[in-house]
Structure 1
Amino acid sequence: MKRAHDSQEAEVISTTRIGIIGGGQLGLMISEAARKMGFASVTVLDPTPQCPAASVADQIVGSLKDPVALRQLADRADILTYEIEHINTEALTALQQEGVKIYPAPDLLAIIQNKFVQKEFLARHNIPVAPYMSIETPTDIEQAIQTWGYPLVLKAKKDAYDGRGNARINGPDDIEVALARLGDRELYIEKCIDLDKELGIMIARNERGESMSFPVVEMIHERDICLSVLAPAPIATSLQQEAERIALHTIDILQGIGIFGVEMFLDTDGKIWLNEIAPRPHNSGHYTIEACQTSQFEEHLRAVTNLTLTPTTMLYPASVMENILGERNGSAIVQWAHDYDHAHVFPHIYGKRETKIDRKMGHITVVGDNLNSVYKQAKEARAELSI
């Protein structure tokens, strides 16, 4: 039976053409996984000529929101997926109605693109989310202050990522600054959770409704950008299980197909709150390439092609992923001050030609036996690299 199953799986992989909307670092790593698995072809759509993914995939140069370019990509693929949320869901829905397979589905993407709509969906299904309300006028902010007090965070409903689109309000003097920063956008406001840790978990789900979860990780942010990921998260087993339960339940409710990054808050009382969902591979799952039996990118491809999901067990007791963020503006030049431990340290450079301050230029994954020592080694390895 196993031989027959493997034969069927090989047939699916060898005859399926993958199309990816977006050719940045996530598109690159999806493409690398697809090539390694043996998919028939991989094509990406990206507006930047010679984007990172173009080093391993064919590229169509065009806007991610252009219906003509999206149709060109669909003509060269059997299944479309994406590495970014900020794309044209109306054009994708039209393609889907014509029979194009798109995973995760455009209607799910439409829910997630608007973070306020996403919150409404989660709250309606009794998923724990921080208290929130829509903001139409500055008076609504005053109402939120009277209801919850400080601190609060003002958020854009659309096109927000890596902290871009958020403004924290710690006191009265911050209101005007927050509105000046975000006031021309559709907004909502959220009560700040008394935070202990930020957690993440990757969930894969295929068309048959089979799900697989990766380990719960801790995400450490600076300037609202994920800097480090610790796997597994240094929290109690009971909290790991609760985070996994909430995440699996949420993706089931969404009927998601593909891989999903579920970001969560752990408060100081030990309660877990769902922050937001990414309908794609996620920064918090990069460590899985070396540290897990199956990477998030391979599991995503298995999910969107409706193959059996494979085990996600960690191969090492501990792993840390350290983002390589740009430290200046200019041409990207990769330099190591000293050689690194090739047995435990795995650098990934994304091939972006221009470096910018805080731009994600790559990541380093370190594996080992002890989370504290691995974290220290990851910081040391990152300090040896300039880009």
Structure 2
Amino acid sequence: MINSLKATTKLGFLGAGQLARMSALEAFKLGIQVAVFSDRTENEPVQFMTPFSTSGSFDSVDDMVEFAKGCDVITLENEFISSEILQEVQDKSGTPIFPSPKSFSLIENKLIEKQTFENAGIPVTPYKLVRSGSDLKEFGNTHGWPYLLKSSKGGYDGYGNDTVRDLESAREGFEKLGGNKDRDILAEAFVPFTKEIAVQVARNEIGTVVYPCCETVQENHICVAVLSPAPIEEKYQKKAQELAVKAVEAIDGKGIYAFEFFLTEDGNILLNESAPRPHNSGHYTIEGCIASQFENHVRAVLGLPLGSTKMNAPAVAMINLLGTHNRPTEADNIQKGLEIENGHLHVYGKVQSKVGRKMAHYTLLGDDLEKIFHLAKESTKNIEI
């Protein structure tokens, strides 16, 4: 536990996108310096905010060791790295990494993640590692068509996923995702669900705090909106929170974690995926909760007391604003959203917009969830980025 913070305390992020940017803003409030390690060729959102910016490869231990030596603590913005490399970087630099390489190793790809939580007694969606056409056929015959194929490592926002409706499309999807090139491909059954819900949990040696259960609204495997608290019975909200805490404890996690669940038609809650970092489903917490997921990310990895997760309003709606053009970033028609009391626009600082890319989000607080969700959609429908 840290009782004081030096002006030279430096928190390092592996990854320099919008998640690191929003965490960095909270670190700055505590007088903490921020360093970022980017594996991208383009300038990323955090690199405009700090002089301590390094570029390199997530496959290069030497690159990251040199970076880590200049930091007091290292944390993650994404999962595009291996636990073995993280462990080597920590050992050679002497700088602690959170989530720890050991915790990360238990969820670093979708297959290991499923096995870890299943072994902890947490219900998960039916799955199988598929390696051949016969595996693809057998899974469909057992769990029904259509089903989902997922790359075990590196998928997000619909990338690395493919919905397959028959054996022919399953073979095509398997090849497209790299199954013929020795990439691990997971088959996952579609489950009859009524809602997709999520819970964020922050945990360190001092304690654990749990955020409200929220609903995530998905289109084409991309989250387009988040509603909090989730419009479901309280017993299901509490069950999802309990499972999220159980999942963090199963990996002895330190930091901020997000868990996505399916609420099935028969009232079961199945864990779908996890993230060892801030998550899009928790962006509403910036204005919606006393301490946001980003503030508790910083607090958790630095060993500080965790902030309250109580909501600041009875209802919060968040809209993801996706790129509408392939062009240098320019947010047009933003006036309506900014004019609304308790409406908050966050533009991520990505220099290049791409169609379907997460470029910004808009959060609206109020008393009635259905009304503010409608107003948030209306206020943002003409925004072009």
The TM-score by the shorter chain falls in which range? over 0.9
Q: Is the 8 A contact 1:207 1:304 kept in 2?
A: no
Matched, 1:176 2:171: yes
- Aligned twin of 1:196: 194
- Aligned twin of 2:67: 73
Inter-partner Cα distance in structure 2 for 1:159 and 1:95: 20
Which of 361, 377, 380 aligns to 1:379? It is 377
**Corresponding residue SS for 1:367:** strand
Could you state the TM-score of these two structures normalised by the residue count of structure 1?
Answer: 0.93
Q: CA RMSD in A?
A: 1.7
Which of 276, 289, 292 aligns to 2:289? It is 292
> What stretches of structure 2 of length at least 5 have no aligned partner?
none
Q: Is the 8 A contact 2:117 2:250 kept in 1?
A: no
Inter-partner Cα distance in structure 1 for 2:368 and 2:59: 45
Q: 199-208 vs 213-222, which deviates more?
A: 199-208
Q: Is the 8 A contact 1:266 1:272 kept in 2?
A: yes
CA deviation after TM superposition for structure 1 residue 102, in Å: 0.2
Matched, 1:283 2:286: no
Inter-partner Cα distance in structure 1 for 2:253 and 2:83: 16
Which of 326, 329, 332 aligns to 2:329? It is 332
* Amino acid paired to 1:251: V
- Aligned twin of 1:268: 265
- Aligned twin of 1:350: 348
Which of 97, 100, 107 aligns to 1:102? It is 97
CA deviation after TM superposition for structure 1 residue 148, in Å: 2.0
Alpha-carbon spacing, 1:70–1:170, altered in 2? closer, same or farther (3 Å): same
* Amino acid paired to 2:146: P
Inter-partner Cα distance in structure 2 for 1:330 and 1:230: 30
* Amino acid paired to 1:23: A
Identity %: 36
Structure 1 residues 16-31: aligned runs within 5 Å? 16-31=9-24
Structure 1 residues 1-387: aligned runs within 5 Å? 9=3, 11-12=4-5, 14-39=7-32, 41-46=33-38, 47-48=40-41, 50-57=43-50, 58-98=52-92, 99-182=94-177, 183-184=179-180, 185-208=183-206, 210-336=207-333, 338-339=335-336, 340-387=338-385
CA deviation after TM superposition for structure 1 residue 188, in Å: 1.9
Inter-partner Cα distance in structure 2 for 1:14 and 1:370: 43
| Offset from partner CA, 1:89-110 (integer Å, 9 cap, x none) | 3332013224320000112223
**Corresponding residue SS for 2:200:** strand
Inter-partner Cα distance in structure 2 for 1:88 and 1:268: 36
* Amino acid paired to 1:129: V
Inter-partner Cα distance in structure 2 for 1:29 and 1:254: 25
Inter-partner Cα distance in structure 1 for 2:6 and 2:341: 31
CA deviation after TM superposition for structure 1 residue 15, in Å: 5.0
Alpha-carbon spacing, 1:170–1:49, altered in 2? closer, same or farther (3 Å): closer
> What stretches of structure 1 of length at least 5 have no aligned partner?
none
Could you state the TM-score of these two structures normalised by the residue count of structure 2?
Answer: 0.94
Aligned length in residues? 378
